[in-house]
Amino acid sequence: MIIKGRVHKFGDDVNTDDIIAAKYLVSTDAEELGRHCMETIRPDFAKNVKSGDIIVAGKNFGCGSSREHAPLAIKGCGISAVVAKSFAAIFFRNAINIGLPFLELGDTSAISDGDEIEIDLGSGVIKNIARNINYKTEPFPEFLQDIVEEGGLMNYIKKNH
């Protein structure tokens, strides 16, 4: 599975309240949540995302509360994947549940806002097309790729069991 898109760069400790403010938790509609994604830290974020874009961040991405709304908002605004130095454990689980792929990359400092990158989930290779640099990380496991391709855990279970 290959994902290609423009980078939206964030720093360390982006928490779930930054991703989607608590006042929007009355909805579980991905598109509605997506319209408000990251608005407390980058007000025009959702308006600037094109379908397929990618978030690249520092360490501890998705920390904070255990709300599934956070990865749902990210996916709902058009982001196709998240690459970060590390992820909060609960974000990891919730991202899988809704079919949002993510990869840990030990050093994201050479990837800049606006760069175009290509992620090969199967090999774990991330190509920074803008800078002609390749990064190697752990491949996204095949069974998780299957869940992502089905649009999340529940869709995967319905189809395969």
Per-residue pLDDT band at 161 (split at 50, 70, 90): confident
| Amino acid (1-letter code) at residue 38 | M
The pLDDT value given to residue 67: 79
Per-residue pLDDT band at 58 (split at 50, 70, 90): very high
Closest CA to 62 of 29, 95, 32, 31: 95
The pLDDT value given to residue 133: 95
The pLDDT value given to residue 103: 95
Q: pLDDT at residue 130 above 90? A: no
**In which domain, by residue range, is 51 found?**
2-160
Which residues on adjacent β-strands are paired with residue 84?
A: 57, 104
Instruction: Give CA–CA dist 145/121, Å, rounded.
Output: 8
Split into its structural domains, the chain has a count of 1
**Average of per-residue pLDDT values in the chain:** 94
Q: pLDDT at residue 66 above 80? A: no
Contacts (Cβ under 8 Å, ≥6 apart) of 135: 105, 107, 125, 126, 127, 128
Contacts (Cβ under 8 Å, ≥6 apart) of 99: 75, 147, 148, 149, 150, 151, 152, 153, 155
CATH number, domain with residue 123: 3.20.19.10
- When computed from its CA atoms, the radius of gyration of the chain, rounded to whole angstroms, is 15
The pLDDT value given to residue 75: 96
